[in-house]
């Protein structure tokens, strides 16, 4: 090959390779789904400082669910695992099924609320919703009360799937419940118990039509959004629906379903939480789903996708993806 032709060929290939690299490197990194390896479910997404945190259930047979891991990320793409932030050795009354953690920071301490033991008869079994505390979001956490915070069955609600909601006035509420019933209770300032409502009751039922489990709540533009999971947790009908009200006590009327399986992507998408980027109207939904290749009920993975609202404030149906979301650092 003549020298000039060889030079042109090499130059063209070099230019093509450089252009291709530039195009690839300019594309924003994405999280991918699942966002971290392992079988994890019921994820609680939260922000502490300039880090994203996810606290999921370790998805395994109940007798093996005696620990909780956590994951942190500066940008939703790179995740660090924090192993065994708590386990049953720190919670003497927890024997199995440590579930669905919810966490808040208050007074420089981190309070982790969790379910344990899957109780069905509170007169015969010890268990329910507990509280643990640590000085660091990565733990180690220690039992705060030495007993369940909620160890009885009120209004037909199994004491599981707790979510701690901070209202606009700074008051904290525990929203929880399985078996198709959801309660709300006003937490004391030190999280050692509850304050009664004006009518003398402590646990107020706020169950909307279709509710099964996995509640979460947030406020956007003055509206209270109450979200939950419905369907069976091991089935393809597991999904997320929501309602809107003017207060955290309702009344909540079901609006519709916004998260469900896509037979081309994954099955049984549900039990979620939401993250709002501070100072913006950008929202993410963190949830679990089952890969198409899996039939074991415990083989669930944690994923993240965008959550959008329409002009009237309705939540748009979420498209579950394999790609996940773009890198997003917190300021």
Tell me which residues are annotated as active site.
42, 213
- Hey, how many other C-beta atoms are within 10 angstroms of the C-beta on 284? 23
Three-class secondary structure of residue 278 per DSSP: coil
The answer to whether residues 132 and 114 touch, using CB atoms and an 8 Å cutoff, is yes
Residues in the chain: 331
Are the beta carbons of 274 and 216 closer than 8 angstroms? yes
Which tokens sit at 192? Answer: 């050692």
Residues 6+ apart with CB under 8 A from 74: 50, 51, 52, 329, 330
**Distance (Å, rounded) from C-alpha 68 to C-alpha 55?**
8
- Between CA 101 and CA 90 the distance in angstroms is 15
């Amino acid at each position: 090959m003549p020298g000039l032709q060889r030079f042109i060929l090499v130059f063209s290939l070099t230019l093509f390779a450089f252009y291709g690299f530039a195009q690839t490197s300019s594309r924003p990194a994405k999280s991918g789904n699942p966002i971290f390896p392992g079988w994890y479910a019921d994820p609680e997404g939260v922000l502490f400082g300039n880090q994203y945190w996810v606290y999921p259930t370790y998805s395994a047979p109940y007798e093996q669910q005696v620990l909780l891991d956590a994951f942190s990320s500066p940008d939703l793409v790179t995740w660090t695992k924090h192993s065994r932030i708590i386990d049953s050795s720190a919670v003497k009354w927890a024997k199995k099924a440590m579930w669905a953690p919810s966490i808040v920071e208050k007074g420089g301490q981190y309070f982790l609320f969790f379910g344990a033991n899957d109780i069905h008869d509170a007169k015969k079994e010890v268990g329910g919703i507990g509280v643990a505390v640590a000085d660091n979001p990565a733990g180690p956490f220690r039992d705060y009360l030495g007993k369940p915070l909620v160890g009885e069955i009120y209004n037909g609600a199994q004491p599981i799937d707790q979510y701690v909601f901070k209202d606009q006035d700074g008051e904290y509420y525990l929203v929880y419940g399985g078996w198709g019933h959801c309660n709300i209770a006003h937490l004391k300032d030190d999280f050692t118990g509850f304050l009664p409502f004006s009518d003398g009751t402590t646990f107020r039922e706020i169950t909307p039509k279709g509710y099964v489990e996995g509640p979460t709540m947030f406020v956007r533009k003055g509206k209270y959004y109450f979200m939950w999971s419905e369907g069976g947790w091991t089935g393809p009908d597991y999904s997320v629906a929501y309602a809107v009200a003017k207060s955290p006590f309702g009344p909540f009327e079901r609006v519709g379903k916004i998260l469900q399986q896509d037979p081309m992507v994954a099955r049984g998408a549900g039990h979620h939480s939401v993250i709002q980027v501070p100072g913006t109207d950008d929202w993410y939904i963190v949830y679990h789903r089952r890969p198409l290749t899996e039939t074991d009920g415990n083989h669930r993975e944690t994923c993240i996708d965008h959550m959008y609202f329409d002009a009237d404030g309705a939540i748009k149906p979420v498209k579950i993806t394999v790609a996940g979301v773009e890198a997003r650092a917190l300021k």
